[in-house]
């Protein structure tokens, strides 16, 4: 493959790729539609399985080499001329949250396949392999642990993660992997399927998850970084169940303690914003004990989840200390006990500066408006960064955020991302 960026993809080839893209998204949406709203592709469930099977079949029809690993990640490869050359990988996840949108995650896999389809149609053979990776189980909503598929591929999935239970079925991750045809015993041994030293770069295309590009009127974002986080999926606050009329001085109200915890974290966030520092926290689930709560009872137990994230590892550590301090104070003030439970974490990741610069230049050369964009969300590219693989991110303008049925990525915007991605692949030789 020439490293000359002037290699052009013919309009008819791009038009055919656009038709494929529309069909791929349509088939996935119609076959993984949630009966209530949006789409649902549970990690190691029927919807995710359909998406992987469907896109692997489409990749085979394109003449790509298709494989999978013990965690059932999908690999769809355009072989290179030099078997010793390091590979370029493009990828994202194919699962979704319940009643989510059709583009979150899937856009990255479809973008990679569209780019390889155009290269194939032009008879272009890259120097090294170019592999599109369909990643399993990125959405931690299901097993309440991060980056399952990508960590498994790199031999970094902890044994404890295999015992996490899916929130709807209560079956373990190991059981779900085995039911889908994977081999959790291989994962337990920590044997990596991918060698980071053999990967030249990992590129991820994704819809934006806050409307920054919409606000700016710009179709593409050049990703700069991915926040790190710490999470407590199952925090329990235990107080004392009591009569609704109990005077305040006698109460050990678990719900009041949980509410004050949320309020104090929100006040902390405001202080960080006032200081010009970036962070975010989310309590995605908060509930009393459904078997014991009542309108005329003081809540004796409350459970909630917590995600806290920032763009600097030192900031993440500082925020963790702040959370522990808030917990200690509230235990004394409210007479309750906080049990934080299992903790998970994900690394801060920074896109490679040369990839950022190249994507910016390629977009500019096409007359495509772009802007630097730090992602507010987690992405599998962070795991590759942690493993020492240079990574890049391309974000596509998207109305209404993500993790809901109203994702509104325009296909024309998406194809601009595919154009830039394809130009970048052509420039790699």
Q: What is the pLDDT of residues 52-69, one digit of tens each?
A: 999 999 999 999 999 999
Task: Find the mean pLDDT for residues 212-216.
Answer: 97
CATH code assigned at 83: 3.40.630.10
Collect all residues with Cβ–Cβ distance below 8 Å to 184 and sequence separation of at least 6: 70, 162, 173, 174, 177, 178
Give the SS3 label for residue 161. helix
Calpha distance 98→346 (Å, rounded): 22
Contact (Cβ atoms closer than 8 angstroms) between residue 153 and residue 71 = yes
Average pLDDT over the chain, rounded to an integer = 96
Collect all residues with Cβ–Cβ distance below 8 Å to 353 and sequence separation of at least 6: none
**Structure-model confidence comparison of residues 303 and 347, the more confident one:** 303
For every residue of 319-379, DSSP letters joined together read: HHHHHHHHHHHHHHHHT-EEE----EEE--EE--HHHHHHHHHHHHHTT--EEEE--SS--
Calpha distance 142→370 (Å, rounded): 34
* CA neighbor of 110 nearest in space, from 26, 220, 212: 26
Distance of CA 372 to the CA centre of its chain: 19
User: Quick count: other Cβ atoms within 10 Å of Cβ 295?
Assistant: 5
Clarify whether residues 222 and 112 are in a common domain. Answer: yes
pLDDT at 350: 96
- Among candidate residues 308, 330, 346, the one where a domain is terminated: 346
Question: Which of 148-152, 215-219, 261-265, 289-293 is the least confident region?
Answer: 289-293
Q: How far is CA 277 from CA 104, 130, 393, 394, 414, in A?
A: 27, 38, 22, 24, 31
Q: Is residue 293, in this structure, part of any structural domain at all? A: yes
- Which runs of E-coded beta strand occur in 79-227? 87-93, 130-135, 199-207, 220-223, 225-226
Task: Find the mean pLDDT for residues 402-417.
Answer: 96
Clarify whether residues 26 and 110 are in a common domain. Answer: yes
Task: Find the mean pLDDT for residues 370-378.
Answer: 95
Q: Is residue 1, in this structure, part of any structural domain at all? A: no
pLDDT at 5: 44
Clarify whether residues 214 and 67 are in a common domain. Answer: yes
pLDDT at 4: 42
- Buried b / exposed e along 180-218 (16+ C-beta atoms within 10 A): bebebebbeeeebbbebeebbbbbbbbbbbbebbbeeeb
Q: What is the pLDDT of residues 112-149, one digit of tens each?
A: 999 999 999 989 999 999 999 999 999 999 999 999 99
pLDDT at 213: 97
pLDDT at 8: 76
Clarify whether residues 328 and 361 are in a common domain. Answer: no
Bridge partners (DSSP) listed for residue 373: 223
Report DSSP state, residue 84.
Answer: T
Domain containing 256 equals 229-346
pLDDT at 2: 37
Confidence of residue 45 (pLDDT cuts 50, 70, 90): very high
Confidence of residue 7 (pLDDT cuts 50, 70, 90): low
Which residue matches tokens 């399985």?
49
Clarify whether residues 121 and 212 are in a common domain. Answer: yes
Instruction: Give me the phi and psi of 114, to 5 degrees please.
Output: -65, -40
Clarify whether residues 195 and 126 are in a common domain. Answer: yes
Report DSSP state, residue 260.
Answer: H
Q: Is residue 3, in this structure, part of any structural domain at all? A: no
Task: Find the mean pLDDT for residues 45-53.
Answer: 98
Q: Is residue 6, in this structure, part of any structural domain at all? A: no
Clarify whether residues 247 and 223 are in a common domain. Answer: no
Q: Is residue 220, in this structure, part of any structural domain at all? A: yes
Clarify whether residues 265 and 300 are in a common domain. Answer: yes
* CA neighbor of 257 nearest in space, from 232, 241, 238: 238
**How many domains does the chain fold into?**
2
Whether 414 has a pLDDT exceeding 60, the answer reads yes
Clarify whether residues 33 and 104 are in a common domain. Answer: yes
Contact (Cβ atoms closer than 8 angstroms) between residue 111 and residue 424 = no
Specify the pTM: 0.91
CATH code assigned at 330: 3.30.70.360
- Among candidate residues 346, 373, 408, the one where a domain is terminated: 346
In percent, the amount of the chain with pLDDT more than 70 equals: 98
Task: Find the mean pLDDT for residues 401-413.
Answer: 95
Measured in residues, the chain has a length of: 429
Q: Is residue 283, in this structure, part of any structural domain at all? A: yes
Task: Find the mean pLDDT for residues 400-404.
Answer: 92
Give the SS3 label for residue 243. strand
Clarify whether residues 178 and 70 are in a common domain. Answer: yes
Contact (Cβ atoms closer than 8 angstroms) between residue 406 and residue 39 = no
Calpha distance 372→172 (Å, rounded): 39
* CA neighbor of 165 nearest in space, from 141, 199, 135: 141
- Among candidate residues 285, 316, 346, the one where a domain is terminated: 346
Whether 425 has a pLDDT exceeding 80, the answer reads yes
Calpha distance 22→29 (Å, rounded): 11
Q: How far is CA 143 from CA 43, 335, 384, 412, in A?
A: 8, 32, 21, 34
Instruction: Give me the phi and psi of 279, to 5 degrees please.
Output: -160, 175
> Taken in order 396, 398, 402, 406, is the CA torsion positive or negative?
negative
Q: What is the pLDDT of residues 16-42, one digit of tens each?
A: 999 999 999 999 999 999 999 999 999
Clarify whether residues 48 and 182 are in a common domain. Answer: yes
pLDDT at 3: 40
* CA neighbor of 132 nearest in space, from 194, 205, 77: 77
Clarify whether residues 410 and 294 are in a common domain. Answer: no
Q: Is residue 4, in this structure, part of any structural domain at all? A: no
Q: Is residue 5, in this structure, part of any structural domain at all? A: no
Task: Find the mean pLDDT for residues 229-244.
Answer: 96
The percent of the chain in helix, strand and coil, each rounded to the nearest 5, is 40, 20, 40
């Amino acid at each position: 493959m020439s490293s000359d960026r002037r290699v052009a993809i013919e309009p008819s080839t791009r038009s055919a790729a656009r038709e494929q893209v529309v069909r791929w998204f349509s088939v996935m949406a119609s076959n993984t539609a949630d009966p209530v709203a949006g789409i649902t592709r549970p990690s190691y469930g029927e919807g995710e399985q359909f998406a992987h099977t469907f896109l692997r079949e489409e990749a085979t029809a394109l003449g790509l080499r298709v494989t999978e690993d013990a965690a059932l990640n999908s690999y769809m490869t355009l072989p290179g001329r030099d078997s010793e050359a390091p590979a370029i990988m493009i990828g994202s996840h194919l699962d979704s949250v319940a009643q989510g949108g059709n583009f979150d995650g899937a856009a990255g896999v479809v973008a990679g396949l569209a780019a390889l389809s155009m290269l194939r149609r032009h008879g272009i053979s890259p120097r090294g392999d170019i592999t599109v990776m369909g990643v399993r189980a990125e959405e931690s909503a299901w097993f309440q642990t991060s980056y399952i598929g990508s960590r498994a591929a790199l031999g970094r999935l902890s044994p404890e993660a295999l015992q996490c239970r899916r929130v709807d079925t209560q079956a373990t991750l190991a059981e779900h992997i085995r039911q889908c045809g994977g081999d959790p015993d291989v994962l337990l041994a920590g044997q990596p399927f991918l060698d980071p030293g053999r990967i030249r770069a990992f590129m991820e295309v994704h819809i934006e998850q806050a409307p920054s590009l919409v606000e700016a009127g710009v179709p593409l974002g050049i990703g700069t970084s991915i926040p790190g986080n710490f999470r407590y999926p199952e925090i329990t606050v235990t107080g004392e169940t009591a009569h609704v009329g109990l005077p305040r001085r006698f109460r050990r109200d678990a719900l009041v303690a949980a509410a004050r915890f949320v309020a104090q974290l929100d006040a902390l966030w405001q202080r960080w914003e006032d200081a010009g520092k970036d962070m975010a926290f989310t309590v995605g689930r908060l509930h009393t004990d459904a078997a014991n709560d009542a309108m005329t009872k003081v809540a004796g137990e409350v459970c909630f989840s917590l995600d806290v994230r920032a763009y600097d590892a030192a900031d993440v550590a500082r925020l963790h200390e702040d959370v522990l301090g808030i917990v200690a104070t509230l235990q004394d003030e409210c007479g309750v006990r906080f049990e934080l439970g299992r903790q998970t974490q994900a690394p801060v990741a920074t896109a490679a500066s040369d990839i950022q610069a190249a994507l910016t230049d390629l977009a500019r050369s096409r007359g495509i408006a772009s802007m630097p964009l730090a992602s507010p969300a987690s992405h599998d590219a962070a795991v590759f960064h942690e493993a020492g693989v240079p990574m890049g991110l391309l974000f596509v303008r998207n109305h209404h955020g993500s993790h809901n049925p109203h994702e509104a990525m325009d296909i024309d915007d998406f194809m601009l991302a595919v154009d830039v991605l394809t130009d970048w692949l052509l420039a790699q030789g």
